[in-house]
Amino acid sequence: MPDDIIDRARRYHDELTEFRRDIHAHPELGLEEHRTAERVASKLAELGIEVHRGVGKTGVVGVLRNGDGPSIGLRADMDALPIHEETNLPYSSRNAGLMHACGHDGHTTMLLGAAKYLADTKNFKGTVNFIFQPGEEGIGGALAMLNDRLFERFPCDAIFGMHNRPGMPVGQYAISPGVGMAGGAFFDITITGKGAHGARPEESVDPVLVACHLGTALQSIVARNVPPQDIAVLSVTRILSGDAYNVIPQTATLAGTVRTMKRETMQLVEANMKRLASHVAAGFGAEASVDFRVIFAPLVNDADHARDFADAAAGLVGEAKVNRNKPPANASEDFSFMLEKVPGAYINLGNGEDSAPVHNPAYNFNDAAIPYGVSLFASIVERKLPK
């Protein structure tokens, strides 16, 4: 049976590759995926699948029923990134400054391939919800769908997602049995001082000086407040202030990101950041305000569903090609918010050892991976919803 799934998925390969490359050539940013969403919806309709547009603004959900039984959700992301593509491929981005640099074009295509397979074979009993999510790249697409009552409208007993992994051979998979990816937050700290002439600093309250001290002080949070057994990363990635060489500005802004494996650790970092910002600024006679935004929850796989997902993968390619104990990644993924509502699992599949990393202008999704994504999505449905 596993061979039959892969073989059948390979029959769709040319059609799916053409679709993937069309999506790649027309990338759209999060919550603006109008063309992509319409192409997805049209393909689902062609397959005889019930289509729901505009879920979470530009999200699409396809519903395929085959008798009474449990419901499974399968999710793929659709959005691109604000990156100028440098692949020089015949199907490179035609939208200046936008690029599918994370493989969401491939994820969308693999889920469509699974929809085609399941609509053709109907070798399951129950309901499959094909969830095409907008705005994964820090834009809030998962929350937009959840706020649009995703799981009330399309109930799921379990939900599954996947992401390509550069550096891992095509035809291999990797999954974490518990925490799989970090939660992520973005922060902006605005420091307000008193501007003055650069030659008369005694008349100022210099926000640049405060920003420099605070940037250093923030590193003490991980070193001195987070327990050593917990993982946290705090990175100041931007400092903005001033416009002239001879003017001490009125304000300065520090911005960056925080990653943690627990929501409690994220709360601890936020509380200590606000404490430090307020007191360091006050020590210089300035004021500081902190805008701390949790963009991603930690991604936590349900142990049983992760085992079943790994079993399905091993059934396709053999146990030796499935890593069941992948260490958690410090990157983030907003599928985590869906996993907080419905138990499920999230797996990586190989994009090739020679693949450029994601979020890189030279990245390209490997079309050879398409059958492995299609067949795994189909296989987990057949396992969870046996006829």
**CATH 1.25.40.850 for the 183-296 domain, yes or no:** no
Domain boundaries, the chain: 2-181+300-384, 183-296
Model pTM score: 0.94
Predicted local distance difference test score (pLDDT) of residue 1:
57
2-181+300-384, CATH topology level: Aminopeptidase (3.40.630)
HEC assignment per residue over the chain: CHHHHHHHHHHCHHHHHHHHHHHHHCCCCCCCCHHHHHHHHHHHHHCCCEEEEEECCCEEEEEEEECCCCEEEEEEECCCECCCCCCCCCCCCCCCCCECCCCHHHHHHHHHHHHHHHHHHCCCCEEEEEEEECCCCCCCHHHHHHHCCHHHHCCCCEEEEEEEECCCCCCCEEECCCEEECEEEEEEEEEECECEECCCHHHCECHHHHHHHHHHHCHHHHHHCCCCCCCEEEEEEEEECCCCCCEECCEEEEEEEEEECCHHHHHHHHHHHHHHHHHHHHHCCCEEEEEEEEEECCEECCHHHHHHHHHHHHHHHCHHHEECCCCCECCCCCHHHHHHHCCEEEEEEECCCCCCCCCCCCCCCCHHHHHHHHHHHHHHHHHHCCC
Predicted local distance difference test score (pLDDT) of residue 4:
87
pLDDT along the chain (387 residues), means of 10: 83 97 98 98 98 98 98 98 98 98 98 98 98 97 98 98 98 98 98 98 98 98 96 97 98 98 97 98 98 97 98 98 96 97 98 98 98 98 97
